[in-house]
Amino acid sequence: MSRLSTAMPSESRRNITNALMEYLNSVSQDELPAMEQGRNSDRTWTAVQRLRDVYANTQLKTPKLQGYFNESLKHLTLLSDYRRTRLFASHGTVPPIL
Protein backbone atom coordinates (compact mmCIF):
# COMPACT_ATOMS: atom_id res chain seq x y z
CA MET A 1 0.00 0.00 0.00
CA SER A 2 2.87 2.33 0.78
CA ARG A 3 4.49 1.69 -2.60
CA LEU A 4 1.21 2.12 -4.45
CA SER A 5 0.61 5.42 -2.67
CA THR A 6 3.70 6.92 -4.31
CA ALA A 7 1.62 7.45 -7.46
CA MET A 8 -1.04 9.40 -5.56
CA PRO A 9 -1.16 13.19 -5.24
CA SER A 10 1.10 14.44 -2.43
CA GLU A 11 -1.68 15.12 0.09
CA SER A 12 -3.23 11.69 -0.45
CA ARG A 13 0.18 10.02 -0.29
CA ARG A 14 0.96 11.79 3.00
CA ASN A 15 -2.43 10.84 4.48
CA ILE A 16 -2.04 7.20 3.42
CA THR A 17 1.49 7.02 4.80
CA ASN A 18 0.44 8.56 8.11
CA ALA A 19 -2.55 6.22 8.43
CA LEU A 20 -0.42 3.18 7.59
CA MET A 21 2.20 4.16 10.17
CA GLU A 22 -0.53 4.68 12.75
CA TYR A 23 -1.90 1.22 11.97
CA LEU A 24 1.51 -0.48 12.12
CA ASN A 25 2.39 1.23 15.39
CA SER A 26 -0.93 0.31 16.94
CA VAL A 27 -0.52 -3.34 15.93
CA SER A 28 2.99 -3.64 17.33
CA GLN A 29 2.51 -1.49 20.43
CA ASP A 30 -1.08 -2.28 21.37
CA GLU A 31 -2.79 -5.08 19.46
CA LEU A 32 -0.15 -7.81 19.78
CA PRO A 33 0.20 -7.30 23.56
CA ALA A 34 -3.62 -7.18 23.88
CA MET A 35 -3.92 -10.43 21.93
CA GLU A 36 -1.62 -12.13 24.44
CA GLN A 37 -4.19 -11.22 27.09
CA GLY A 38 -7.14 -12.34 24.97
CA ARG A 39 -8.30 -8.79 24.28
CA ASN A 40 -8.89 -6.72 21.16
CA SER A 41 -7.27 -3.35 20.60
CA ASP A 42 -9.58 -0.34 20.33
CA ARG A 43 -6.61 1.68 19.15
CA THR A 44 -6.09 -0.67 16.20
CA TRP A 45 -9.80 -0.71 15.34
CA THR A 46 -9.59 3.10 15.18
CA ALA A 47 -6.43 2.97 13.06
CA VAL A 48 -8.07 0.60 10.56
CA GLN A 49 -11.08 2.87 10.32
CA ARG A 50 -8.86 5.89 9.77
CA LEU A 51 -7.08 4.07 6.97
CA ARG A 52 -10.41 3.26 5.34
CA ASP A 53 -11.50 6.88 5.76
CA VAL A 54 -8.34 8.12 4.06
CA TYR A 55 -9.10 5.99 1.03
CA ALA A 56 -12.78 6.95 1.07
CA ASN A 57 -11.81 10.64 0.98
CA THR A 58 -9.19 10.31 -1.77
CA GLN A 59 -10.19 12.00 -5.00
CA LEU A 60 -8.44 11.04 -8.21
CA LYS A 61 -8.38 12.91 -11.49
CA THR A 62 -6.83 10.48 -13.95
CA PRO A 63 -7.47 6.88 -15.03
CA LYS A 64 -3.84 6.02 -14.19
CA LEU A 65 -4.36 7.09 -10.57
CA GLN A 66 -7.62 5.14 -10.46
CA GLY A 67 -5.66 1.99 -11.34
CA TYR A 68 -3.26 2.52 -8.45
CA PHE A 69 -6.17 3.33 -6.18
CA ASN A 70 -8.07 0.17 -7.14
CA GLU A 71 -5.01 -1.97 -6.48
CA SER A 72 -4.56 -0.23 -3.11
CA LEU A 73 -8.14 -1.10 -2.19
CA LYS A 74 -7.40 -4.77 -2.87
CA HIS A 75 -4.48 -4.55 -0.45
CA LEU A 76 -6.60 -2.76 2.12
CA THR A 77 -9.06 -5.64 1.94
CA LEU A 78 -6.20 -8.13 2.40
CA LEU A 79 -4.93 -6.15 5.38
CA SER A 80 -8.37 -6.38 6.97
CA ASP A 81 -8.68 -10.09 6.16
CA TYR A 82 -5.26 -10.91 7.64
CA ARG A 83 -6.11 -8.92 10.74
CA ARG A 84 -9.41 -10.73 11.16
CA THR A 85 -7.63 -14.09 10.80
CA ARG A 86 -5.01 -13.01 13.35
CA LEU A 87 -7.70 -12.00 15.84
CA PHE A 88 -9.66 -15.24 15.40
CA ALA A 89 -6.47 -17.27 15.83
CA SER A 90 -5.59 -15.41 19.02
CA HIS A 91 -8.96 -16.35 20.51
CA GLY A 92 -8.56 -19.97 19.40
CA THR A 93 -12.00 -19.97 17.86
CA VAL A 94 -13.68 -20.24 14.52
CA PRO A 95 -16.38 -17.66 13.77
CA PRO A 96 -19.88 -19.17 14.14
CA ILE A 97 -20.75 -18.28 10.56
CA LEU A 98 -18.11 -20.74 9.33
Name the residue ranges covered by the structural domains of the chain. Answer: 2-91
DSSP assignment of 45-77 equals HHHHHHHHHHHHT----SHHHHHHHHHHHHHHH
Q: Are 43 and 31 in contact (CB under 8 A)?
A: yes
Q: What pLDDT, in 10s, does the model give residues 56-88?
A: 998 888 888 888 899 999 999 999 998 988 888
pLDDT in tens, 8-30: 888 989 999 999 999 999 999 99
pTM over 0.95: no
Taking the C-alpha atoms of residue 5 and residue 38, their distance in angstroms, rounded to an integer, is: 34
